[in-house]
Amino acid sequence: MFGSYFGHYLTEQGIITADQMTEVMQAQKSARVKVGLLAVASGLLTEQQADKINMLQQKMDKRFGDIAVEQGYLTEEQVQELLDKQGEDYSTFVQTMVDKGIMTLSELTEKVEEFKEAGGYSDAELEALKSGDIDRIVPIFMKEPALSRLHKEYAAVVMRSILRFIDTDIRMEHIEKLKPFQGICGVEQKMFGDQMLYTGIFGDKPAILDIASTFGGEDFTEVNAESLDAVAEFLNVNNGLYVTAMSGEWIELDLEPPMMYPEQKTISSEGIAYRIQVYLSGKKVNIVFSLNTDVSVD
Amino acid sequence: MAKILIVDDSLTSRKILKGILETAGHEIVGEAPDGVQGVDLYKKLQPDIVTLDITMPVMDGIGALKEIRDVDPDAKAIMVTAAGQKSKMVEAVKYGAAEFVAKPFDEDQLLEVVHRVVEG
């Protein structure tokens, strides 16, 4: 994920081309071995154990390593060893850039410093970005003072779901209060119960089709009822994970059926709602959510 | 092998369920996108098992379960849910749900649940 941020900076500065960025990100995606595979290959887990963890991971918003420890299959030390073997996001990105002859190590080191300055990142935030750990990265972009714990938790769940189900090349912008904007198409789902939550995913066609194709398991080329249904189902599953997490904290929520919007709409709110712009392999979607405030889609 | 009716408002979800169940040799006798159509189809088709998504428009899975069990007290229903909504699960058990499966579907777990319900 570090590559998504740093690579975007390098592209914006004209230091590398968009094609080079795509090439590096694709190489990094294919080189990155999943922790589960590493564990089986290292003989620490059987395939059955890895399958069971994968199955549990589908139902709960937790990382592979955390579930493996909870199940008593691995110790925390073993998980850390596997993560070390998997390689820090930063190291694999740098390695790929150097291997492809795009930049030298010293050029990269220099540019990382410039990237840190330009983004206003602290040392700790830069380290979090380098780690690629989504749980350390999301808080960097959640600095709106009025955000509640439920807002922050929702943003964390949705980013983890995108990473798990849709794309590993993701970059989120800083969260912002929702101002009216045009969404080309999208889906929404409300939750009610102890709290009322509005959630929506709106974006341009390419990003919406990417989510639909990846989550729906087929190659969608048009935004229509079928492709939006797959995006709605992704939102539904994500919200299900959030409801489950909240239920563990004694907050009971129910899901309403999702709504789909195949045409351009203006998304706005009279109260305080939030928007996070997320780039999936460079394609933008808007994640919109609010707590006890309705959002209009007209 | 069982004759199964799938009731789910998500086309994506219905396609995935259908794919897994048909590959395992079960017969999908019908599909419905909401509880009202699901109840009608149940009465017409008399399947061995009905899968009911809990969150649906028009009539949700719990409402459909109640109506189906009113007309067929032996109906075998597997409730499908995207969330561990405790109150909904308690309600579904009260109205006679046989089992639960969670989205996104895990193939092995789903087939095991269907097997248990068929045997049960």
User: What is the CATH classification number for the domain harbouring B14?
Assistant: 3.40.50.2300
User: What is the CATH classification number for the domain harbouring A203?
Assistant: 3.40.1550.10
Same domain, A120 and A150: no
Same domain, A113 and A183: no
Contact status of B23 with chain A (Cβ, < 8 Å): no
Q: Flag whether A137 is in a domain.
A: no
Flag if B86 and A247 touch (Cβ within 8 Å): yes
Same domain, A193 and A269: yes
Same domain, A219 and A156: yes
Same domain, A15 and A64: yes
Give the end of a domain, one of A95, A110, A132. A132
Contact status of B45 with chain A (Cβ, < 8 Å): no
Same domain, A89 and A149: no
Instruction: Report yes or no for ipTM above 0.90.
Output: no
Number of domains in chain B: 1
Range of the domain at A56: 2-132
Residue A236: which of B10, B16, B85 has the nearest Cβ? Answer: B10
Cis preceding-peptide flag for B104 (omega within 30 of 0): yes
Number of domains in chain A: 2
Give the end of a domain, one of A95, A112, A132. A132
Q: Which residue has the tokens 């330009």?
A: A118
- Stretch A98-119: mean pLDDT, rounded? 91
Same domain, A66 and A197: no
Residue pLDDT, tens place only, A162-212: 998 999 889 999 999 999 998 889 999 999 998 999 999 999 899 999 999
Q: What are phi and psi of A133, to 5 degrees?
A: -80, 110
Residue pLDDT, tens place only, A142-176: 998 889 999 999 999 999 999 989 998 899 999 99
Which are the contacts of A5, defined by CB distance < 8 A and separation ≥ 6?
A115, A119, A129, A171
Q: What are phi and psi of A259, to 5 degrees?
A: -115, 150
Residue B30 tokens read as 């019908």
Same domain, A221 and A277: yes
